[in-house]
A and B are shown apart, each in its own frame.
Chain A
Amino acid sequence: QVQLQESGPGLVKPSETLSLTCAVSGYSMSSGYYWGWIRQPPGKGLEWIGNIYHSGNTFYSPSLKSRVTISVDTSKNQFSLNLSSVTAADTAVYYCARGVATRHFDYWGQGTLVTVSS
């Protein structure tokens, strides 16, 4: 069974960089699939942030592209999200998920709340 688990700081200061890691178990990332990040502000809807292919090719939401970096470490079977210059608007539950191309996500992590506040 594929499982994903997000980890990282729950509190980030404004203007700093939000960094999260997603550990994957039950599936070798180097075997394929895309790996993505999705976020959900409190009480609001889902927003796609971006995907990475196991080879390292990345695809980002146009609205976040200037601030987002997604990387993969297949040796550790994990991938990471960096979001720079954060503001209170970036406060959200951040989910990692396995993607079938940039079409849909079939396995999701439980999500982690990141609050941007001084």
Chain B
Amino acid sequence: QSALTQPPSASGSPGQSVTISCTGTSSDVGGYNYVSWYQQHPGKAPKLMIYEVTKRPSGVPGRFSGSKSGNTASLTVSGLQAEDEADYYCSSYAGSNNLVFGGGTKLTVL
């Protein structure tokens, strides 16, 4: 199984929206509605932001949203804030009780 493909970096100014993509195959992202997104600040553990493509855990701001089209999932952060600057990782169920992560995207708030 190969890692999901994410852009290494993304950026936006405060108040703007930014979208991070996560590309897989029909065996993972495209085959199941089990894509998740995690936010990780330096030196901290990852935090679940989106699960099952579009669902937000309690406490996650509504500025974070997820979607999927074919083999590509996306995370959109609207109304960027300084505290959104972090690394973001996607993951997907890959069948047969396997899970695969993306390589991560560093989001910079300009």
Partners in one complex: yes
Give the B-binding residues of A (Cβ under 8 A): 38, 45-48, 51, 59, 61-63, 95, 100-106, 108-111
B45 touching A48, Cβ below 8 Å:
no
Show 27 residue pairs from A and B whose CB-CB distance is below 8 angstroms, ordered by the A residue.
Answer: A38-B46, A45-B89, A45-B104, A46-B91, A48-B100, A59-B98, A100-B51, A101-B93, A102-B93, A102-B97, A102-B98, A102-B99, A103-B34, A103-B36, A103-B51, A103-B52, A103-B93, A103-B99, A104-B36, A104-B48, A104-B51, A105-B36, A105-B46, A106-B51, A109-B45, A110-B44, A111-B45
- Is B51 in contact with A62, judged by CB distance below 8 angstroms? no
Nearest 6 pairs of A and B residues by beta carbon = A104-B36, A59-B97, A108-B45, A104-B51, A48-B99, A45-B104
Q: Apart from A95-B45, A103-B51, list 17 A-B contacts with CB within 8 A.
A: A38-B46, A38-B101, A45-B103, A48-B99, A48-B101, A61-B98, A102-B97, A102-B98, A103-B52, A104-B48, A104-B52, A104-B91, A105-B36, A105-B38, A106-B57, A108-B45, A108-B46
Task: Return the chain B residue nearest A63 by Cβ.
Answer: B1
A-contact bits for B60-103, CB 8 A (1 contact / 0 none)? 00000000000000000000000000000101010001111111
Q: In the complex the two chains form, is B93's CB within 8 Å of A46's CB?
A: no
How many Cβ-Cβ contacts under 8 Å join chain A to chain B?
64
A37 to B97, CA, bound (A): 14
B47 within 8 A of A: yes
A95 to B89, alpha carbons, bound, how many Å?
15
Whether B91 contacts A48 by the Cβ 8 Å rule is: yes
Whether B45 contacts A110 by the Cβ 8 Å rule is: yes
Q: How large is the interface on B (under 10, 10 to 19, 20 to 34, 35 or more residues)?
A: 20 to 34
Does chain A have a CB within 8 A of B3? yes
How far, in whole Å, are A111 and B47 apart by their CA atoms in the complex? 12
Give bound CA distance, A51 to B98, whole Å: 9
Looking at the assembled complex, report how far the CB atom of A51 sits from the nearest CB atom of chain B, in whole angstroms: 7
Query: When the two chains form their complex, are residues A46 and B34 in contact, meaning their CB atoms are under 8 A apart?
Result: no
CB of B57, distance to nearest CB on chain A (Å):
6
Q: Which of B52, B98, B99, B101 contacts A45 (CB 8 A)?
A: B101
* Residue numbers in A under 8 Å from B99 (CB-CB): 48, 51, 61, 102-103
